[in-house]
Amino acid sequence: MLSSVTELFEEACLLGEGDRAALAGLLLESLDQPPSPGVEAAWIKEIERRIHELDSGEIEAVPWEEVEKRLLAQEQHWHQS
């Protein structure tokens, strides 16, 4: 068994990218607390609201490429400031 966090980290770094991502996800999940009562119901209500807005045409989805372009432009602006 590994004796320190540093050794564990070094061992994990030898894993492939997918395995490291899976390990990171599992570690993060292990820190999650159980959701407060009503949280799942609130998320379902929010998801239904957003679907309705999309279906009714109230809002329009933005393609990922456009979002990425905007984010990169903002990042460049921040670095120039």
pLDDT in tens, 23-53: 999 999 999 888 788 998 999 999 999 999 9
Domain-wise residue ranges, the chain: 5-80
Buried b (16+ CB within 10 A) or exposed e, 40-75: eeeeeeeeeeeeeeeeeeeeeeeeeeeeeeeeeeee
pTM greater than 0.85 (yes/no): no
pLDDT at 36: 84
The 10s digit of each residue's pLDDT in 58-72 is: 999 999 999 999 999
